[in-house]
Structure 1
Amino acid sequence: MLLIPLLIFCGFSKKKSKILIIGDSISIGYTPFVKENLKNKAIVKHNPGNAQHTGTGLQKIKEWVGTENWDIIQINWGLWDLCYRHNDAKVYGNRDKINGTITFSLDDYAKNLEKIVQSIKQVSNAKLIFVTTSYVPKNEAGRFRKDAQKYNKVAKRIMKKYNVKVNDIYKKSKAIHKKYGKGEDDVHYQEKGYMALGKIISNFLVKEI
């Protein structure tokens, strides 16, 4: 007699959503916290390694999306795109905003983002979410602080065109970086910073599940 109620209960239990996060090292840092926060509601995965800039995204997006039936795909590019690099620079990653060359101009960034969104829509019916570029501190060797907002403005325009929801974390990431950043010359965060970012991402995603 206990078997029938058990089968009925199992039949109505909600299936976990499948979420793919594609992004740079900032997203790599907060993804473990997102996984933990949403463990009862979703299976959260990150693309292998660092998604770097939109050029890498164009090359690998279909590989990353694969054939999995994703419910949500969250994407982010920007920090690598707006970075200036020079082969002779001594700083890690050859960053050099004085003598270097920008990875992708605003126009090229926009074109690449548009192609990436189109490519995802060709192979997946997942709900798309774009996360804006996080805060760039003043003394970062390869990036200008104001560029993050310029690239975010362009990204929002592209996302609006394709009805992609935007999770604008810039202002919040700035406040978090002031408390838990790795320094005024580093875009990365301490563990508590990634935890705080993870909460922001989780709170947005849970409303979309």
Structure 2
Amino acid sequence: MKFVPLFLALATLTTAADRVVPREGTEWCNIWMPNANNHDLPRVLLIGDSVTQGYGPDVEKQLAGRAYVARLATSRCVGDPVLHAEVAAMLGAETFDVIHFNNGLHGIGAVSEKEYAEFLPQFIAHIRKLAPKAKLIWASSTPSHVNGKFEQTDARNENVKERNSIAAEIMGKEDIPVDDLYGLMIGYPECCADSLHYNAAGKAMQGAQVAGEILNLLPAKAK
């Protein structure tokens, strides 16, 4: 196990005092690190939001016996130094072979798409600095639907699609594969639990696809 002091990890980052950081009414973070003392299997880290938190257990089940799957789910959006601090805490505690990450649904209306395009590469650079040997996979953000009428997308979905397009271009430049969860879920409104989240069937679909993408990048002995 390694330890990276947060003040070193964050030394080159913009602080909240340097710019106005948009906040949600309630900010939250959930960290899950199973089998913390075992190192006989590769380690995988899922970074995302409540959608990631939803499919995380299904990814664990799919990769049982092949990898240990940790996750960091957070409400922080790119451009927030606290997001970098949360990631630094995870990557300072353990070494990961594969990192499957997403950020996009939070911050809509507070961070412009222009700012998103600026901050996302900084987020990637931060992860690579702290986990230089990890293989990265980007996940596109899932659709935003009209609550109660899940066959319809809502106004926010235009932002989701634009951010996914921005991210896809950046990932192409960064040589990072994209796990298209948007494309997976857009045709299954019956799998919605509310405007942004999914029922058990939806979580299982996402978990299976995420696990398959991760499995392609795991060390050969784990496959």
Please tell me the TM-score bracket, short chain as reference.
Answer: 0.7 to 0.9
Match of 1:146, SS state, is: helix
Give the residue type in structure 2 aligned to 1:202. Answer: A
> How much identity, in percent, do the aligned residues show?
24
Partner of 2:203: 194
Match of 1:73, SS state, is: strand
Q: Is 1:74 the equivalent of 2:81? A: no
Partner of 1:104: 111
Distance 2:90 2:173 in 1: 23
Q: Is 1:22 the equivalent of 2:61? A: no
User: Which of 64, 68, 72 in structure 1 is aligned with 2:90?
Assistant: 64
Give the aligned CA root-mean-square deviation in angstroms. 2.0
Native 8 Å contact 2:77 2:103 kept in 1: yes
Match of 2:111, SS state, is: coil
Partner of 2:130: 123
Distance 1:67 1:157 in 2: 31
Runs of 4+ residues deviating >3 angstroms: 138-143
* Bigger mean CA deviation after superposition, 190-199 or 61-70: 61-70
Deviations 1:149-179 (A, max 9, x none): 1100101112122211111111211123x12
Alignment of 1:45-194 (within 5 A): 45-47=70-72, 49-54=73-78, 55=80, 56-82=82-108, 102-124=109-131, 125-138=133-146, 144-176=156-188, 178-183=189-194, 186-194=195-203
Native 8 Å contact 2:139 2:179 kept in 1: yes
User: Which of 49, 53, 60 in structure 2 is aligned with 1:35?
Assistant: 60
How big is the shift at 1:67? 4.3
**Number of aligned residue pairs:** 172
Native 8 Å contact 2:146 2:154 kept in 1: no
Native 8 Å contact 2:144 2:154 kept in 1: no
Distance change >3 Å, CA 142–CA 174, structure 1 → 2: closer
Distance change >3 Å, CA 174–CA 142, structure 1 → 2: closer
Structure 2: tracts of 5 or more residues without a match: 1-39, 219-223
Native 8 Å contact 1:71 1:127 kept in 2: yes
Give the residue type in structure 2 aligned to 1:42. Answer: A
Native 8 Å contact 1:61 1:116 kept in 2: no
Native 8 Å contact 1:110 1:155 kept in 2: yes
Distance change >3 Å, CA 51–CA 43, structure 1 → 2: farther
What is the TM-score when the length of structure 1 is the normalising length?
Answer: 0.76
